[in-house]
Structures are given as structure tokens and as C-alpha cells.
Structure 1
Amino acid sequence: MNKKAPIYITLLSSLLLWNCSKDPKSETATEATTEKVVDIVHVSEAQAKNVQLPVGDFEQTIVGEEVTANGKVEVPPQQMISVSVPIAGFVKRIDLLPGTPVRKGQVLAVVQSMEYVQLQQEYLQALSKQKFQEQDLSRQETLNQENVGSKKKLQQIDAEYQTGKAMINGLEEKLKLIGCNIAKLKAGTITPSINVISPINGVTKMVYVNIGKNIAPTDVMMELVSREHMHLELNVFEKDANKVQVGQTLLLENPRLANKPLTGKVILVGQTIEGPTKAILVHGHLDNEVLEQKLVVGQYVNTKILTGKKAVQTLPEDAVVRRGEGGLIFVKLKTNSYQQIPVKLGITENGMVEIILEKTLPSKEIVKANASVLQAMLAGGEGEE
């Protein structure tokens, strides 16, 4: 029994120390820091006369149902051009920077190539040889008609002539691909320089070469983008995919271009779910082509696609105080006493705001005007303590 006594004494001492360490003042301070949420405002008789606070129930309004679709400004693949030269050489001149406008037919760069010179030389040699073969073939045909020449030799000369002709045609097509002026070449003018020509009107997206750089036929020198067929490439989530159809109206908010949303049309709806976001690709065009041209390829856009109509409960805009993506409304509890209620906001159309309730209202008498006045009074400390 005496051996166990120290254990009990130790436990008792620990309990006493713990109780003494508790500070009643700290508990009081913790309770004091818990703020009471003030959401009721009282209006005096004088204020009630000056501020019109009509009350009533929600209104049922038919509004356009919409789907949010984010994406970017893009161009079709055929409007994105990778520029290269089909022969090896080195860059002699280039004056482009990313973003530089270009015109169709404009010289973008100059490339010099020893292989190009060799190709022109072979073409002129083949032309010269063909003239000799043509004359030789004509002589052999004459001799054959007089039964003097050999048919075997005629066939051999004709085969050589046809081979030379095929070589000339092949070399000529290669030179045309490079951009050679065949008429000048036939006149004897050989040039070591290749002019790299722009095939479109547009802008320079990227430049990958500099003066003096050696390039191969597989190297991309620059990328060009045509702005003639820009469109919106949007992502619509899987849950909304079956709501979107070709021809539906889309709205694009861009304060830089206009004070109100720009309208457009859905032109193509993807048929497969893409990527980890589980979304379908939707393509659209703006109705105003002039403003569409002011968009920038790759620019992020936020749009809404109008997919139909639905009946919702709404209040006038003056009955709602907006707070970020949500808002506040007020309901009348008793004479000159109003409670603030947080709500979610949906579509705004023709001055009416869709109200999505997060909880049951304490009253059906909803303030339908001057909600901002009540909120200002509440923020100014005139609420219930």
C-alpha cells in the first residue's frame, strides 16, 4: 500500500497544476474575439418615408439558358504556314520579327545556295545536249527513210533523246519549286540567290533563322499566320455537351472592343470528348467581322453560348447588391426591420436577375428596390447588435 501512495500523489499534483494553469481571462478573450454577424437593419420612421422599399415575391421570368465556354482565338490549320526552302543553303538576308505584317508575294528572306547554282547549270547543260540529240535524231530519221541508216541506231538515239527530255522536265519542275525564273535561265542568267516569298497575307508568328545560318530542306525558317479566317475555339464541359448545337448564339465579353458583349454563332461542334478536362471543342465566329479582325491569335476568351429558354425566379437589378459572383437581397421581417440574405446569381436579362437561393427565406416579403441603400445602412453600423 505504501508503494502505491507516491503514484496517487503524483497524479493529484498534475491535476492541480493543470487547473491552476487555466487562465479565465484567456477564455473570456477568445469569446470576445468571436464576432457576431450583423445581418438585420432597422429603418427609422423618417428614413422609411424618404426611402421607397416596396416588397413582394419573386417574379417568374423566361430567360435564355446559357453555357459557359472558355477558349482562345485560333485560325484553321491551312492558315498557319511553315516556310522553308526545298534546297540547302545559307541565309543572306532576313528582316522579319515576330508580329511583322506580311503581304502575299512579299520577299521574306534571301537564301544563297551552291546546290541551286549546280541545279541551274545541269538544266542548261541538259538543254544544250537536247539540241544536239534532236539534230542527231533528225539526221538518223532521214537516213532511215532513204534505207541507208540503221534502225537500231535510230532507236538508240530516240531513247537518248526521250531520256534527256525527261531529265529537262524534271529539272525544270525542281527549279520552279525553288522559285526560279525559267525564262531568264534559258536566256543564260544563273543566279545564286533564292527569294523566299510569302504565300499569304498575314503576320509573322515566329522566326527561327538569322543571317549566315545554314539551312536544310527540312528546316522551318519562319511561321506565318493568316488573319482572314480567325475563329473562336472553345471548350464546353461534358455535362453541357448535349446542349450545344450549330447555329446557336454566343456572347463574347471584351471591354477593349465594345461596351457590351459581342455576338456570334456556333459554326462547328466536336463529336469527341478531349483531354483531362473532359470537354468538347466548339468553333464559333463573331457576327462583326471588323471587330473579329482586332482579336489576337492565341488570345484567351470567355464566352457564353445561348442554348435555349427556361423559367426562373428573378428580381429587378435594383433589388440585388452584387458581391463578386454572388449577391445580397433583403427580406422584411416586421415593420421597418429587414434581414440581409446571401444568394447566388444566374442570368441577367432585360433588367431582371436570376436568384438562386442557398437556404429558405425567413419571409416572402422581398425588398424589390433600393437594396443598396439598406446595405449601406447595414455597413454603416445601423444594424441590430
Structure 2
Amino acid sequence: MTGHADVVVIGGGQAGLALGYHLRRTGLTFLILDAEDAPGGAWRHAWRSLRLFSPAAWSSLPGWPLNGGETTYPGRDDVVGYLTRYEARYELPVRRPVTVRSVERAGDGVLLARTDRGDWTARMVVSATGTWRHPYVPHYPGREAFRGAQVHSGAYEGPESFAGKRVVVVGGGNSGAQILAELSEVADTTWVSERPPVFLPDEVDGRVLFHRATARIKALQEGRAPEIPAGGLGDIVMVPPMAAARDRGVLHARRPFARFGETGVVWRDGTATGADAVIWCTGFRPALDHLACLDVVGPDGTVAVDGTRSVREPRLWLVGYGGWTGPASATLIGVGRSARETVRRIAAELGAEGGQGVPTPPG
């Protein structure tokens, strides 16, 4: 059974919804295939206490602001609720749960998306799967022999199960800092970071970082050396929970350990620290396994793109994976710009032949 649409979007998180918002205005037939059981994308899997480091007004998708204005920093549940309402507000054609197993060349100028719920042909496919399904854990000698728990931040839910335990938190970015701050209230924590964490001034938040990232990309595109702002680009935003942890004196990181032992970690000077658990706040890589048949994913795990369009397969587009698909495109506010430009280019190529926005169902 095969259905057809002008455009198939793979992924129903923030990137997929931003694309849907703009596609609704083109007249092209399209649908969004989402592997999740409910709206919210990767935000559904974030830890309960997560706080955005941009105010609500700077954490919104195109067309409709997230409630909270300039002074409220939304939490995970706020974002999930917002994405749920956004999808319904714009009546976006999301089908879930649908897992796209592969995207293949099908002849006749179309791509074929094979799924567990039937197959779809499309004149253009936009991959917007993000990174959550591809967590990254660096190699450390002896990791397999460690008898304690190991949890990636993508699976971390909250501090309760770690109360009274010795926990090593690995990762010096905002995720590692926020999780460390929370755990330090109930557990004996050790923070590990590749380099000393950089804490931004209290008045600097995601708005400033967004503007800095945009200016940097623009300078590179124009062949200019990017200006380094006072304080650098920075890392960690001092949202209220972080400021409270600073006041408790717990925001001190150590350089990486040398290896694991069965009951803890061994430092480069040969000393050891016992640990009951390690939490890996070491990031994610693009989730692109479904593109293997197209042979477009490079050794670094990314796809060569012209803007957001695949160089090797021009019917394929990629949105929301980070800087290589557009400035700040992995953020709520940043992905709107990448989505708008992607849809503009797709519509310019297909628009004259587009339908009325309703895809042909499988059958």
C-alpha cells in the first residue's frame, strides 16, 4: 500500500511543526510522519525539571507565541503543552506513531519513504528527526566493567532514584550543569567537564546567544572573521536553579578521569572516587539511520547541504539538526527561520504543480 504527497516531513517535533506551519500556506500536499506516541517531540523525554534558557517570548515557533513573555523561563511540560496546542491550532496533518524505516529513490522523480504503517512517495522529503534517538557516550577505558548505573541525559527523568548515592555527572554544557545542580541537593555529586565551564552573566540568556550565533554564521558566510563578544560565546546560562546551585557552592568541575574501575572512576593522578552511578550529559548526534539507502550521510554523521538541501540528493532536505542546517536551527526560535527558507525553496520548485494540501492516502 502506497500513498503520495508532494512533500513528506519525517519527524513531528518542533522542526516538523515549523515546516508544517509554512507548508500550509503553499497549497502543496504534505504530511508529517512522527514516531512518537503523542505530540511534543523530544521534549516528551526531557527530565521533569528542565528549564529553557530563553524566555518564553524567545522560545516560540512561527505564528504563535508561547505564553510567558520576556520574564518567564518555560519548563519541559510548558513546551510539550505548547507544541500539542500548536499542532492542533494549525490542524497540521501529523500521523503517529509512524516509524520511517528508510528513504529510497523510487524512479519517476520521487523518493519513497518506507514505514511500519505503509509507504509514501513524495517529490520532496524533509528529514526533521533531530538528535534525541542518537545519544552520544564517549569511550572511557573500563566502562563495561563499571558495576554502577549509567544513564544518558536523554533518559534521565529526575533525582529521586539517586538520593543518597554517589553520582558522577559527565558534561560541561547546560544539560550537565542543570542536572548537576538538581542532583547536588540529594546526592554526593562529582562534576566532570572536558574544559572549565563558562558561566554567563546573570543578565545574559538565550536571546543573546541566539543573536551571537546568527552574527557568527553571517560573518562566515560573508567571508569575515567572526567577532568574539566580551565574555566569549559562553556556555552555561544562569537560569534560577543554576543561580541557586552557585549560591550553594556546588558548581565546581573536574577534568575528565582516566578510566573506570568496577566501583568508581580513576583520575589521571591515580586517585579514585567511588561512584554508584554516572550520568552522561555528553550530547547527541543527528538521527539519520533512515537515510542510509541514499548514501548521503558522511563520516562525521552529517549530510553535505546547500542551505538545507542535500547536495547529493536534491529531493532531500534536512531541518533542525543544529548549525550545519542553519543558525540555531536546533532551538525553538531558530528552527522557524530554517523552516521558512526551506519551504520557500521547495514551493518555488513545486508550487505551480501543488495540490490543495491534502495528501493521497495509502491504498
TM class by shorter chain equals: under 0.3
Q: Which has the larger radius of gyration?
A: 1
TM-score (norm 2): 0.21
